[in-house]
Structure 1
């Protein structure tokens, strides 16, 4: 009963705060002309979205942080998760601000974003290492075994954090896709964190799930606001740190399979074109391939949500 009440309260608070912030934040974004630019080589149906306010990730960032701090004390694992959430959100905010407010189409250059992300991931892991929070081994899901990486552990975890952040970012290409997927994955980690006695992380993951659900009110097709890099990088930062703290890093590609399938599709597309001159997909990331194959945007999104639910059910079998 305590579990049910606590997690329901976390989800409810996140949802209510995000839903309440929407009518306040969206007019502000419109006023500063924070409109999204749509790539001309993408699906033609997306051109109608030109000018839709972006940087809406501020909605669930503020909602989740506020709800979390209302529910619990700031112990070290929660502090690390919030740091990952906010630092990567800040990187995304700078990129969005340069693009949509200062009208610099490139925003941060690719190498600048990568340097900032690697620095952020390294800093988070240094903080965690100094406090003894970095696992000494990797838990192997389903096999119930452990893998010791030694000195390779830190570089591996940096790669996981940066990879997860960019995977969520690539997924944010259809109305409601990244936010809805995160509702499910974050809800999964909320239950798992509670099961593994990471109570504060469970509440944070719960508020994040609820806040993304509240954001969906405004982001579901047809979207009134986009999360932008502000939101997608923040979500990736939070998700990767939660997985790190619970030592379920290797479960991320399972329950977050949609995120990683999107990234893999981009890698395979680029590799195939450079090696053979042919493209494997009609367009990458993967969601655009299905769109160009005749699927409606809503059909792609709901199908990917359904796949995520199944993957999270499979993931339950892999928790210790």
Structure 2
């Protein structure tokens, strides 16, 4: 039975209205409490601006997630409540990430303390709820009514899944935080990823994609791919949409660490949930996130080769270098980025269309070429600027 569109629309509206209301209120409070981000040599903005907008995203998402079972019951497809597991996980990482972000925005804590906080945020859900980390492969085996032999069909052992999951949540939360430096960039980036994840889930439900070998063997649809999975994408999308008018094209507030850390952690958790302990699927679901992963990874390698301190703040990420080289507005930079977001997102559909390795290699090559073209365009812009200044 197709999912009633009204339920998704209502969830988007609930989260959107809540996010817009809380963000507006947070801006008023920030102005009075002097919670302002002042421009410095590393900033991409030139006007003192409140940096509390992320609180609106987080509180709206938390409230909607909390009341979700009362609004629309979560119909579990097996003996294990996977949707409830995802709901609790998202609430945990959003609340923890928001708290850590508020503390960092206010007190500017050290990189080591911040990293420790992110590890706690990634580990606590596993300890408290037995959530998607090492538990997911076991839960999925039970929900699908079969037994999984660890190490087969791309399924990692539970301990390795736990380790990979914690590192992935911490790493991508940091990457998302690093990349949140231009008006609207992280909001539209997250919306793009959620859109493509939604398309993959819908296509799987419609039988458009070939099943993975594991689930063909078990004779079941992957339990994480249910109609209700879309609820969580709708809630996060609505919360982001409520915030964006205050951040783009002209920023009345910033997402800040209070928004970027939990939003990055939420996207990481969603990829883990959808991949279900399968490293191949995790790679596929990382493709819409590859622009951020590549930019941060490339910059870290570049700075490391030059012997620079990797934890020192800077303006050397590719998007910052492009902004400096071209002198573009934030809106124009975002328009330039959008085709790359769409290409890397669409490559996810190619990746999951067929389980043959040549098909998946082709999807990876599409993403790789897009990232290389982006990198070369940044270098070309810098070369043109240097020639003009010479």
TM-score (norm 2): 0.69
| Cα distance change on mapping 1:71 and 1:152 into 2, 3 Å | closer
| Per-residue CA distance 1:241-273 (angstroms, 9 max, x = gap) | 111122253234311122212311321231231
CA distance in 2, matches of 1:117, 1:129: 18
| Per-residue CA distance 1:271-316 (angstroms, 9 max, x = gap) | 23129xxxxxx94222101112215122222222332122222212
For residues 269-284 of structure 1, the aligned pairs below 5 Å read: 269-274=302-307, 283-284=315-316
Q: Provide the residue aligned with 2:371 in structure 1.
A: none
300-309 or 211-220, which deviates more: 300-309
Given that residues 22 and 55 in structure 2 are in contact (C-alpha distance below 8 angstroms), is that contact kept between their aligned partners in structure 1? no
Which has the higher relative contact order, 1 or 2, with Cα contacts under 8 A spaced 6 or more apart?
1
Given that residues 42 and 315 in structure 2 are in contact (C-alpha distance below 8 angstroms), is that contact kept between their aligned partners in structure 1? no
For residues 112-261 of structure 1, the aligned pairs below 5 Å read: 112-127=113-128, 129=130, 133-135=135-137, 146-149=154-157, 151-193=159-201, 195=205, 196-247=224-275, 248-261=281-294
Structure 1 outlier segments of 4+, above 6 Å: none
224-233 or 57-66, which deviates more: 57-66
| Per-residue CA distance 1:138-179 (angstroms, 9 max, x = gap) | 9xxxxxx52424532222111101011011101100011111
- Computing the radius of gyration from Cα coordinates, the structure with the larger value is 2
TM-score (norm 1): 0.83
Alignment gaps of 5+ in structure 1: 99-106, 139-144, 276-281
Alignment gaps of 5+ in structure 2: 75-83, 141-152, 206-223, 276-280, 309-313, 354-390
CA distance in 2, matches of 1:87, 1:79: 12
RMSD: 2.8
Q: Provide the residue aligned with 1:294 in structure 2.
A: 326
1:91 aligns with 2:100: yes
* Paired residue secondary structure (1:318): helix
